[in-house]
Chain A
Amino acid sequence: MTAPRSSDAIVVGAGIVGAACAAALSRNGWRVTVLDKSFAASGTTAAGMGHLVAMDDSPEQLALTAYSERLWRELAPELDPRSELDRCGTLWIAEDESQLAALGAKHDAYAAAGVASEILDAVALAEAEPRLRAGLAGALLVTDDSVVYPPGAALRLLEIARAHGARVIEGREVTGFAPNGVLLRDGALHADVIVNAAGAFAAALTPGLPIVPRKGHLAITDRLPGFCHHQLVELGYLASAHVMTSESVAFNVQPRRTGQVLIGSSRELMGWDASINHHVLSRMLRRATDFLPALLSAPIIRCWTGFRPATPDKLPLIGRWEPTPGLWIAAGHEGLGITTSLATGQLIADEVSGRETAIAADVFSPMRATHAEHV
């Protein structure tokens, strides 16, 4: 390998993306220091649902998520119980015949990207998930999609990084970047490679990054073992996630390893207000009961919000930030940061080492938005 044994890397942010970058870099021989202003997995990673899904909003997104799912499968033997990995698969639910017809194209797109899936008709869907409402048209089962507990998975990735020599320093706030360096409240640290993996806060550290916080609500039930068996998503979810409207909700429910049912999802653009928006929460919950009527009597034990680091074109920002020598960006993963963390870490590790990447990486360059402005 061309691993630069003596080279240092600093990763800013110990969320799952920073943890994945640290693991990939340290495995490739980099001496990694991870800095986090709070504690590991305390930001968006703490709030997320933790789905590992192949998502086909765009060919680039599908390539990235499919690649990352492969990396998750390779990592699986190294995960611990705290990561709560569950290969439950995803059911993309078609409500009517026209949506059912769309599943065929989705199936083909997945197949072309190497993602296994199969179409279930109405009867097979009702057998797979008896609590879904009657009269649904069918679903696409994406067999290898999984669920993890994001803070647990992030901690495990940091352990892997540490085992390869990385240092993780929590409670250390980075206030900005300098050429090959990070600025701290009480000085600066230097390294050959700096990675801004500060998630929803990345744009505050690197002005010019097109990242805005996109708020989401989640609700979780008490333990209801066997309530559902797959991650359940309405086919309309992609449309809800794609359009940057001020407010949208979509049916997205997960069975957790604990037996709990995790209920999403909502999207809002309203800055950093973390309070529960009762209107959005109740819309989201009602949408869930449209599909799973039995949820009406389920006990909800907790609701919370989080901020997705969203970009205008729904693709993450992964690659070199040209204005600042030595600075790389690994941020802007919107609602797919858990899925795409491993691919992000590997792309960064390959790019900084000058190696060829497994998938085309230039489409994720954080410079794409700034270039576009000059056209």
Chain B
Amino acid sequence: MSATRVEVQVDGARLETTPGITVAAALLNANVLGFRTSVRGEPRAPLCGMGVCYECRVTIDGVAHQRACMRVVTPGMRVDTRHREDASPNQSSSATRNRVDVAVIGAGPAGIAAGTRAAESGARVVVIDEGLGPGGQIWRPRADSGASRAASPWIARLERSGAVIHRATAVVDVQRTATGFALRAESHDRTLSIESRAIVIATGARERFLPFPGWTLPNVFGVGGAQALLKSGTSVRGKRVVIAGSGPLLLPVAASLARAGAQVKVVAEQASRGQVVRFAAGLWRAPARVAQAISYRSAFLRTPYSTGMWIVRADGDTSVREVTLTDGRRARTVECDVLCAAFGLVPNTALASLIGCELRDGSVVVDERQETTVSGAYCAGEPTGIGGVDLALIEGEVAGLAAAGSPAKSRLTTRRASFGREARALDRAFALRPELKALAADDTILCRCEDVALGDIDRGWSPRQAKLYTRMGMGPCQGRICGGALECLAGWPADTKRPPIQPARLSTLGADVDVITQPNS
């Protein structure tokens, strides 16, 4: 029997909330607007909803800097939005060690397919995923009803395959060793050390954010970010929502929000009508997806879907209150409670770069068997180039088989070949208009972790120079948010990757490596 309410403490006050939802959802539902206070003293709240931006950091049970979007509320949990730290919190430094054949990093569609295929081939497999359950972003389980219809068969098959699944566990470092790879991972209360012969990098993608005046206000989310927060238990019932950004995610997210009771006032796609129509025409090759698109559209039939319309700024005092949109000729202002603004997806390649995999145009280079330029390291799904769920599944299957040393299946490689075209069409259709690169004013924050504004940096600098001189990109998100923006705004490439690839407990990094790097006995 699960309780219908769970009681937690927020800044010392009792809060009754829904069991199974994330701390971020609980705080948003309680109308907490400042999860943390920024370096310049601004209240900040979740942006990405999926563990990337570190804006939702709170103190949980005396441990500072916990991401509220990655933790589920538990009875009696103490949450503090002001920095608070116990003198000696949980100090466990013991690491559980595992030795396996294949370690799959990420349990979105690509990772699920890879883990399943590798384990079905008889390999010892672990699948490590930061999410609360397998699914990744596209198949993120709902706090109330669990896995989606599309995801369930795959997740069931993964669970039957014999693969060991580590949920809510982040891989923070990967080293190459004489016999393969050594991984370090951690959950909020556990450290994991894994040696594997092969790895499958299935780290998915994150959203691209572009800075505009007001983008740091609470209740400004990503588009996929809003979806993630919704699925994590955030209530949007009765909220007036503006969606402004780019890409095929806008429609399904608008549909989800509308079904959850939000009043979606505008969906503004920055790409022109011509571009979007040409892309949609291409979908006739995939009838199932057209049906899907029609169902999304019907969910918010009275909502204006405007192409060639983009955001100029957001305003509000403690939270976003209105959004200014333009079509380049006329600006209009729309009142809202929530703004969703993101501009396509960026492949998560940090882990691949860390171990030295070659990247081309921001994506991991792979061969026919999904093997990267690092022997034994395979990559599948969005890190090899944004291609969507169906391609990710096929790539995952190919990678899983190859990583387990099983022969390739020609059916998979044939199907994979047909997808390349669509990914390229997506890039063309939703190419960002140049006006978006000029949205930020001199006082607009670029780096939200360190509160570095556009006017603080000189575009003639190198990224490393900007980092050293202004602290830009030096915060806990490690440039995952501002880096994608600056790639667009200044043409700056991503900085070199070093461990940890995301913030990690000292005890995880300091765990004894002498044992785990020794060759297999």
- Residue numbers of A with Cβ under 8 A of B are 39, 41-42, 46, 82, 130-131, 151-152, 155, 219, 221-225, 227, 258, 263, 276, 278-279, 281-282, 285-286, 288-289, 293-304
A299 near B89: Cβ-Cβ < 8 Å: no
Q: Across the interface, which residues of B come within 8 angstroms of A39, CB to CB?
A: 461-462, 465
How far is B513's CA from A289's CA once the two chains are assembled, in angstroms? 16
Residues of B contacting A301 in the complex (Cβ-Cβ under 8 angstroms): 475-476, 478, 500, 503
CB-defined contacts of B476 to chain A, threshold 8 Å: 222, 299, 301
A278 and B64 in contact, given A297-B507, A298-B505 (Cβ under 8 angstroms): no
How many residues on B have C-beta within 8 angstroms of the other chain's C-beta atoms?
Answer: 41
Question: A225 contacts B83, CB within 8 Å?
Answer: yes
In the assembled complex, the Cα of A288 lies from the Cα of B87 at a distance in Å of: 16
Contact with B517, one of A263, A278, A293 (Cβ below 8 angstroms): A278
> Chain B 286-310, CB within 8 Å of chain A: the 1/0 string?
0000000000000000000000000
Identify B505's interface contact among A130, A286, A296, A303, CB under 8 A.
Answer: A296
On chain B, the residues within 8 Å of A222 by CB distance are 57, 64-65, 476, 503
**Cβ of B32 under 8 Å from chain A:** no
* A293-B509 CB under 8 A given contacts A46-B468, A151-B469, A155-B469: no
**Is B468 a contact partner of A279 (Cβ separation < 8 A)?**
no
**B-chain residues with CB within 8 Å of residue A221 when the two chains form the complex:** 506
Once bound together, how far apart are the Cα atoms of A155 and B510, in whole Å? 34
A167 to chain B, nearest CB (A): 17
* Contact of A289 (CB < 8 Å), options: B89, B498, B506, B517: B506
Q: Can you name the residue of chain A whose Cβ is closest to the Cβ of B173? A: A278
Specify which chain A residues have a CB less than 8 angstroms from the CB of B87 in the assembled complex. 130-131, 294
* Residue on A nearest B83 in the bound complex, by CB: A225
Residue of B whose beta carbon sits closest to that of A223: B83
Measured between beta carbons, the chain B residues less than 8 angstroms from A303 are 498-500, 509
CA distance in complex: A130, B87 (Å): 9
How far is A281 from B64 in the complex, measured between Cα atoms in Å?
23
**Once the chains bind, are A276 and B499 in contact (CB under 8 Å)?**
yes
Give the complex CA separation of A296 and B93 in angstroms. Answer: 7
Determine which residue in B83, B468, B474, B512 has the highest number of CB atoms from chain A within 10 A of its CB, and name it. Answer: B468
| B33 interface residue (CB < 8 Å to A) | no
Let me know if B504 and A302 touch, CB within 8 A. Answer: no
Q: Is B90 in the interface zone, CB < 8 Å from A?
A: yes
Contact B88 A286 (CB under 8 A): no
B91 within 8 A of A: yes
**Shortest CB–CB separation between residue A152 and chain B, in angstroms?**
8
CB–CB B503/A300 < 8 A:
yes
> Is the CB of B63 closer than 8 A to any CB of chain A?
yes
Among B37-69, those with CB < 8 Å from A are 39, 57, 63-65
In residues 83-115 of chain B, which contact A (Cβ within 8 Å)?
83, 85, 87-93
Q: Are A298 and B506 in contact (CB under 8 A)?
A: yes
Q: What CA separation (Å) do A304 and B87 show in the bound complex?
A: 27
Give CA–CA (A358, B237) in the complex, Å. 74
Asked if B179 lies at the interface with its beta carbon under 8 angstroms from chain A, I say: no
Question: What are 27 A-B pairs with beta-carbon distances under 8 A?
Answer: A41-B469, A42-B465, A219-B506, A221-B506, A223-B65, A223-B83, A224-B85, A263-B506, A279-B514, A282-B509, A282-B512, A282-B513, A285-B509, A289-B93, A289-B506, A289-B510, A293-B88, A294-B88, A294-B89, A294-B91, A296-B93, A296-B507, A297-B63, A298-B505, A300-B506, A300-B509, A303-B498
Q: Please give, as numbers and ranges, the residues of chain B lying within 8 Å of A296 by CB-CB distance.
A: 91-93, 505-507, 510
Partner pick for A285 among B88, B92, B506, CB 8 A cutoff? B506
Contact B498 A276 (CB under 8 A): yes
Chain A hits for B468, CB < 8 A: 41-42, 46, 151
The residue on A at minimum CB distance from B474 is A302
Among B70-87, those with CB < 8 Å from A are 83, 85, 87
Tell me which residues across on chain B come within 8 A of A304, comparing CB atoms: 498
- Specify which chain A residues have a CB less than 8 angstroms from the CB of B498 in the assembled complex: 276, 302-304
Q: Which residues of B (146-181) have their CB < 8 Å from a CB of A?
A: 173, 175
Give the CA-CA distance A240 to B93 in the complex, in Å.
26
Q: Which residues of A contact B91 (CB under 8 A)?
A: 293-294, 296-297
Q: Which chain A positions have C-beta within 8 A of B514?
A: 279
Q: Nearest A residue to B500 by beta-carbon distance?
A: A300
Q: Are B509 and A299 in contact (CB under 8 A)?
A: no
Which residues on A sit within 8 Å (CB–CB) of B503?
A: 222, 299-301
What is the CB-to-nearest-CB distance from A157 to chain B, in angstroms, rounded to a whole number? Answer: 14
Binary A-proximity of B458-496 (CB < 8 A = 1, otherwise 0): 000110110011000011101000000000000000000
Cβ contacts under 8 Å, B499 to chain A: 276, 278, 281, 303
What chain A residues lie within 8 Å of B92 (beta carbons)? 296
CB-CB under 8 A for A282 and B510, given A300-B503, A303-B498: yes
Determine which residue in A152, A225, A281, A297 has the highest number of CB atoms from chain B within 10 A of its CB, and name it: A297
Which residues from chain B contact A294 at a C-beta distance below 8 Å? 87-89, 91
A residues near B39, Cβ cutoff 8 Å: 258
B389 contacts chain A at the CB level, 8 A cutoff: no
User: Are B505 and A299 in contact (CB-based, < 8 A)?
Assistant: yes
**Contact pick for B478, options A42, A276, A302, CB 8 Å:** A302
> Which A-B residue pairs are the 10 nearest by beta carbons?
A285-B510, A296-B507, A296-B91, A299-B503, A151-B468, A301-B503, A222-B65, A301-B476, A286-B510, A282-B510
Q: How many Å from the CB of A344 to the closest CB on chain B?
A: 21
Give the Cβ gap from B480 to chain A, nearest Cβ, in Å: 12
- Contacting residues, chain A, for B90 (C-beta < 8 A): 297
Q: Are B507 and A278 in contact (CB under 8 A)?
A: no
- Cβ of B89: which chain A residues have Cβ within 8 Å of it? 294, 297
- Mask: chain B, 116-149; 1 = CB below 8 Å from A; 0 = not: 0000000000000000000000000000000000
